[in-house]
Amino acid sequence: MADTVHDDVNRRDFLMIATGAAAGVGAVLTAWPFVHQMNPDQAVLALATTQVDLAPIAEGQAVTIKWRGNPVLIRHRTKPEIDLAKGVAMADLKDPVSRNANAKDGSEATDENRVVGGKEQFLIMMGVCTHLGCVPDGANPLREFAVVEGSEKTGGWFCPCHGSQYDTAGRIRKGPAPENLAVPPYKYLSDTKIQIG
């Protein structure tokens, strides 16, 4: 009789473990479609990187492209705009950190740390104000940062929502925005072509 009791205990333990394992597998198989649907679809993955040809962007011209659903500002800066950005003292900056995904964390917000060396004429940055997420406007030059180039004034970006003002390197100079405009991760594929992301 002792053997029968022992056999019943082993059989009961086996049935409990097998039932628990089957329930666990069933739960995973049931949950998988719900978890999988949260993964980004192919259209989103295709937007993870984007390539831009900079050759058609004339000196002094700015274009806005979309990357990951956000605007990216690309400006072909003029020499006076570059000189103006390089001439800013670090003590005059509201945010001293470069906010550049391509630079070392915590690097200073010098103009050199906001662009790629040797290609400083192209400024590439996110077009999202760091205050409340509005899109700054660079079409109307700012008087505060303006320099005269011929008869045309050039300047930085202005966020019309709450008055944040960014200079010709995209650094916050006035207004409620707490940080410089972020520079996205990008690299040059050739002299005139970049890949963002």
162 is catalytic: yes
Q: Is 150 left (phi over 0), alpha (psi -120 to 50) or beta?
A: left
177 CB-near residues (< 8 Å, 6+ apart): 129, 130, 131, 159, 162, 164, 166
- What's 184's DSSP letter? P
Tell me the C-alpha distance between 26 and 18, whole Å. 12
Which three-class secondary structure state does DSSP give residue 62?
strand
Tell me the C-alpha distance between 9 and 140, whole Å. 83
Structure tokens at 123: 């400024």
- What's 77's DSSP letter? -
Catalytic residue from among 6, 36, 76, 162: 162
Instruction: Give the active site residues.
Output: 162
